[in-house]
Structure 1
Amino acid sequence: MEVSSLSKTLILLGLLLATHTNLALVQGYQGGGGGTRVGFYKSTCPGVESIVQSAVESAVQANPTIAPGLLRMFFHDCFINGCDASILINGPSTEKSAGPNAFLRGFEVIDAAKSKLEKACPGVVSCSDILALAARDSVVLTGGHSWKVPLGRRDGLVSRGSDTANLPAFNDSISVQIKKFADKGLDIQDLVTLVGGHTIGTAACAVFSYRLYNFNNTNRPDPDINPSFLPQLRALCPNGGNALRRVALDTGSVNSFGGSFYANLKYGRGVIESDAKLWSDPTTQRFVQRFLGYRGRHGLIFDVEFGRAMVKMGNVEVKNGKRGEIRRVCTAIN
C-alpha cells in the first residue's frame, strides 16, 4: 500500500523529534547547565578521574560501607548551599560535625584523592569535583551504571552546622520532601529517583524504631509497614535495644545498586518513614510504579534516570568563575 504524503510527513516529524530528544539527553549529560562541563580538566589535569576512581576503589574493596557513605555525602553537600564541598570542612560548628551528618563515612577517601591530585596537578582540582566523581564511582563499584560527570565546580567558603536543618529528614512528609527538593530546582521525579540511592547502605535503629512500636503515639506500628516484615525489623531493633545498630535500607540489596528498592516500597518493606511514604502517597507512587514497569505507565529505567538526576543535582548552586576557591586541603578553607 502506498504511504500518503501526510503519513510521510508525520513519520519524518516523528524521526526529527526522536533525534532532537536524543540529542537533548546527550547534551544534558555533557554539560551540566550550571557552568560545569564534561572534560573540564582535559588539559589541566587529564588523570583526575582515574586518580579519584583508584582511591574510591581501594576504599570500597576494604570497606563496602564507604560506597553508600560517599553517595550520601554528595547528596548532603549539594542540599546545603549547593555542591561546594562545604560538608568536608572540619570544625566544631561546621556541617561535618552536625547531627544529620554524624553517620556519614568516607571523608578520608576524599582526602586521599585530593592528596594524590595535589601531587599530580597542584591547585587545579576542587574538592567539590572530587566528591562528585567519588559519588559516581561508588555507584559503579556497587553494580550501578556509570554516567559522565560535568566538572568545574569551585569550593565554598562557608560551612555552618545550623544549615543542616534544611536537609531532607527521615520523617518528612511527602509535601515537605517535595518542597525541599523544589527549593533546589529538583522535581518530583528527581526526588523519587534520587531517594532510590537508598538501594545501598543502612540506617541506625534510632532513625526508624519509633515506627515499630509506638507510631505517632498510637502504641501500634506504622500501618505502612507490611505485617510480615514487622517481626524482622523488631528482631533487628528490639524496643529499648541498641539504637546504633545498622539495618539495610533496601532489604537484600545493602551492597548492590539497583531498582529493588522500589519493589520493597511496594510491598511495605520501606525501612525509614520518608521512604515508605513514596509508595503510600499517590503523588510519588506513580513514579515508583513507572520504575516498576506498571502496565499503563510510561516506564522509567532506574540506572539511566539516576545518572540524569545526579547530574542535575550536581549543578545545584554551583560556584564557578571567581566564586569560591580551589582548596589546598579539603578539610579547611585556604
Structure 2
Amino acid sequence: MDTSFYHISEKAVERVANEAVLTVPGVRDLDAKLAGLAGRSFPRIDVHLDRGSAVAAIDAEIATTYPAPVAAITDAVRATIIEHVRQLCGLDVSRVNVTVSNVEADPSARRVSWDDVAHHDASPTPTRIRVTPSTVTQPVTKKRKPLTAIDVHSLVDDMRDVTVPAPPEVEHIEAPEPAPVQASGFVGAPLPLEEIVVAEPVEVRVPMVPPAREVAPIQVSPSEIHSVSAPEPHPISPVEVAPLRQLTPVTLDRRVRIEPVSLPPRQPLQQILVDRPPLVPVQVPAPMPLRPVGAPHLQRVYHPTAPAPAPLKQITIRPVEKYYDRTR
C-alpha cells in the first residue's frame, strides 16, 4: 500500500493560475502601484480547495486590452486555467468564474484579433533553460613586491668605545757574562743562554656600565593629623548588695499517716414517671364523589395523496472549450 502523499496550498494554486492567465493574448498585467491611488492589481485569483475530493474552485478577475474579443478571451482564460491546474497541480477544477473588471488600451497600439485568441494553446508549454557555461580561469600570481627595508637599532651602537691601554714596554734583561769555572786548572766553555719568550699582550676589555638613570623625585603629600577627642568617663555609681540571709532549717515534727478513703454505698435508682397528654382522635372526612368525565369525540384523520411522479428532465453538461467558437 502506497502511503506517500503531498500537500499543496491555495497560495500555490493561485500562483499557477495567475501565470496561466498571463499567457492568454489580450490579458493585461496591471500593478496597483503603477495604476495610481485608486487602482487595483490584475489579474486577481481566488482559489477554494476541497482537499477530500481534490477539487478546486477558482474565481479569476482580469483586465483586457481594447479593442479585443472579450468573450473569446474569457473562454481562453477558463480553458488555460483548467489545463494548467490539472497538469501542474494534479487537481480537478469544478468551476472557473472569470470576471472582466477593467479594459485598457494597449500601450504598444497592437490589436488582439479573434485568430490570436483561437490559436492560443491552453496547455502549459515548458520553457527551455539556458545555461551559460562558466569560464575557467587559471590562477594568476602577482609579481613579487620588493621588500621594504627595516631600520633596526642595534645595541652595538650604544656601546662605548673601550680604550685599550698601550702594552707595557718589555725590558730586556742583560745577563752577565758567566764566570769562568776553574776545575783543576780547566776552564770549560759557557753554556748557551736560553731565549726568553714573552707572550703577546692580550686586549683588556672594560665592561660596559649602563648610564645612570635620573631618579624622579617622589612627591609625598603629608597627611592631615586629626585630633581624637575621647569622651569623659562616666562616674561609677556604687552598687549596694543586700547581705545574704541565713537559711532556716526545716524540721519535720511527725509523719503524716495516709488513711484509706471509703465510698458510700450506691443508692437504688428511682423510677421517673412522665405525664403524657391523652391522644386526640382524628376524624378523616369522607371522599368526595367523582364526577363523570366524558371522552372527547375523535377527529377525522385526513390521508394526504401524493401527486403522480413527473418524468425527470435531462441535464446536459457541456465541456469547457479551449477557445471561443465563432460558428455558434
Range of TM-score over shorter length: under 0.3
Q: TM-score, normalised by structure 1?
A: 0.18
Larger strand percent: 2
Bigger RCO of structures 1 and 2 (CA < 8 A, at least 6 apart): 1
Larger helix percent: 1
Structure of higher CA gyration radius? 2
